[in-house]
Amino acid sequence: MFSLGENLIMIKVLIVDDSAIVRKVITKELSKCKDIEVVGTAVDPYVARDKIVKLKPDVITLDLEMPRMDGLSFLSKLMKYYPIPVVVLSSLTPQNSQTALKALELGAIEVLCKPGASYSSKGIAKELEHAIKTASIARVGVNNNKTVLCKKVHQSNLLTKTTNKIVAVGASTGGTKAIETVMKGLPSTSPGIVIVQHMPANFTASFAERLNGIVDINVREACDNDHVVPGTALLAPGNYHMLLYRKGGVYMVRLKKGPFVHYQRPSVDVLFQSVAKVAGQNSVGVILTGMGADGAKGLLDMRNSGAISLAQDEKTCVVYGMPKEAVRIGAVNKVVSLQKMPREIVNSLNLLN
């Protein structure tokens, strides 16, 4: 980044995409942002490599399907030899959703839907601007395997009071790895878990499927009126808010469109506020890495209702935004490192009345 005048900090962006139309559309839209400058474009990773060295961009937008070298191979090499914030643009297909999740594993900061066949600029402009600004302040590589591995919880007796308890989790930038770390550390006997991760529609199903294959808890993308039961985690679908409600003695989730909250749908605040009303002192709220303030007020509602509220610490966050805001307004009972979060959730559940 460089300064232009006294206060304006310009974010230098390199666009890597084999489509001339996409490069043109993105360049045009980003040129409207007073604090973003497109310093160059590249048709493939080989051209991108040379331009990165020459132009030293702050952020790269990266297509995943390109000639000569695919985007994942390039991203892997980039994070090894020249770590830099990357925003991935991916087409909305099941195969590309899996590839996009792999990109997040390799170190990409954000994943956005690539402009469709009409290359409409309206749908992506604001999202891309927000993603680039988030990426420009993200800590690249903070959630690599060396920093987030935690010991698996094997003891079946760790959760002695699981009846009618709820764990609510919210995350954004860097959240896919953070959620994976938390879920890997929780036992299969855990109470029902509800999760909001800011992610485009269609990608959430792939993320849930991937988690389901690597953790002891059953994980799936939520459907309207799903039951929230022990040993199961429900992930809010992209483009839908998820709310907890209770029918008799059973917790269930409701999906709805509704207005965006903090520019997000699903919103962590919407989930947390519903958990505060329905589960109250029988719940644990967890806010993880992410840009902005989504979830802070909802977590405060949870704490005020008797829930135990936990926030990821700054050192292990990719972006210390959402947890920082929650701490600032007094919504957090305890700040915890990502590595220790699973154990702290278990301990908190055992403290609930």
Q: What is the pLDDT of residue 153?
A: 43
**Per residue in 39-86, pLDDT tens?**
999 999 999 999 999 999 999 999 988 888 989 999 999 999 999 999
Q: What is the pLDDT of residue 164?
A: 82
**Helix, strand or coil, per DSSP, at residue 348:** helix
Higher pLDDT, 108 or 117: 108
Q: What is the pLDDT of residue 146?
A: 38
Query: Which residues in the chain belong to E strands, given as ranges?
Result: 2-4, 8-16, 36-42, 59-63, 86-90, 110-113, 166-171, 192-197, 218-221, 232-235, 241-247, 250-256, 283-287, 308-312, 334-336
Q: What is the pLDDT of residue 113?
A: 80
Share of the chain above pLDDT 90, in %: 72
CB 190 within 8 A of CB 231: yes
pLDDT at 287 over 50: yes
**Per residue in 213-231, pLDDT tens?**
999 999 999 999 999 999 9
Mean pLDDT of 177-193: 96
Average pLDDT, the chain: 88
Higher pLDDT, 151 or 55: 55
Listing DSSP states for 292-320 in one string gives SSTTHHHHHHHHHTT-EEEEE-TTT-SSB
pLDDT at 96 over 90: no
Q: What is the pLDDT of residue 3?
A: 54
- Give the largest CA-CA distance in the chain: 64
pLDDT at 152 over 50: no
Share of the chain above pLDDT 70, in %: 87
Mean pLDDT of 186-199: 95
β-pairing, 334-336 vs 308-312, is parallel
Residue 266 carries which DSSP code?
Answer: S
**Per residue in 315-330, pLDDT tens?**
999 999 999 999 999 9
Mean pLDDT of 109-122: 67
Residue the block writes with tokens 């045009």: 28
pLDDT at 294 over 60: yes
Question: Which residues have a catalytic role annotated?
Answer: 172, 198, 294
Q: What is the pLDDT of residue 91?
A: 74
Amino acid at site 54: K
Q: What is the pLDDT of residue 158?
A: 42
Q: Which domains does the chain have, with CATH numbers?
A: 2-137 (3.40.50.2300), 146-351 (3.40.50.180)
Q: What is the pLDDT of residue 68?
A: 87
Name which of 127, 105, 101 is nearest 114 in CA terms: 127
Q: What is the pLDDT of residue 2?
A: 54
Partner residues linked to 42 by β-bridges: 16
Q: What is the pTM of this model?
A: 0.84
pLDDT band of residue 114 (cuts 50, 70, 90) is confident
**Per residue in 236-256, pLDDT tens?**
999 999 999 998 889 999 999
Mean pLDDT of 127-148: 75
